[in-house]
Amino acid sequence: MKRTFAIISLLLALSLTAACGAAPSQPVPGSSSPASPAPEDSSPTITRLVIGLDDQFPPMGFRDEKNELVGFDIDLAKAVCDKLGIEAISTPINWSSKEFELNGGKVDVLWNGLTITDARKEAMLMSPAYITNAQVIVVRKDSGIKTLADLGGKTVALQEGSSAEEAYTACAAAGTEKELIKAPENISLFSDLKIGRIDAVVIDKVFGDYYIAENGEGKLEVLAEQLADEEYGIAFQKENQELAALVLGALDELVKDGTAAQISQKWFGEDRIVFQYPG
Residue 214 and residue 206: Cα distance in Å, rounded? 12
Instruction: Note whether 246 and 260 are same-domain residues.
Output: yes
Number of separate domains in the chain:
2
Q: Is residue 147 part of a domain?
A: yes
Cα 167 to Cα 59, 156, 183, distances in angstroms:
21, 13, 16
CA distance 48 to 271: 28
Cis status of the peptide bond prior to 27, with omega within 30 of 0: no
Whether 98 and 216 share a structural domain: no
Within a domain: residue 183? yes
Task: Please indicate, yes or no, whether residues 169 and 191 belong to a single structural domain of this protein.
Answer: yes
Please tell me the pTM assigned to this model: 0.78
Tens-digit pLDDT profile for residues 186-242: 899 999 999 999 999 999 999 999 999 998 788 999 999 999 999 999 999 999 999
Both 139 and 221 in a single domain?
A: yes
CATH assignment of the domain containing 190 = 3.40.190.10
For the segment 64-108, what is each residue's pLDDT rounded down to a tens digit? 999 999 999 999 999 999 999 999 999 999 998 999 999 999 999
| Domain co-membership, 225 together with 146 | yes
Sign of the torsion formed by the C-alpha atoms of 200, 54, 208 and 70 = negative
* Residue 152, amino acid: G
Domain presence at residue 28: no
Residues 221, 196: contact at Cβ < 8 Å? no
126 and 247 belong to one structural domain: yes
Report yes or no on 31 lying in a domain.
no
* Enclosing domain of residue 125: 48-132+231-268
Q: Please write the tens of the pLDDT for every residue from 134-187.
A: 999 999 999 999 999 999 999 999 999 889 999 999 999 999 999 999 999 889
Q: Are 152 and 217 in a shared domain?
A: yes
**Beta partners for residue 179, in sequence order:** 155
Same domain as 212, residue 81: no
CA distance 172 to 159: 19
The arithmetic mean of pLDDT across residues 114-131, rounded, is 96
Longest dimension (CA), the chain: 135
DSSP string, 32-47: ----PPPPP--S----
**21, part of any domain:** no
Give the three-class secondary structure for 237.
coil
Q: What pLDDT is attached to residue 44? A: 52
Q: 277 exposed, middle or buried (CB, 10 Å; 0-12, 13-18, 19+)?
A: middle
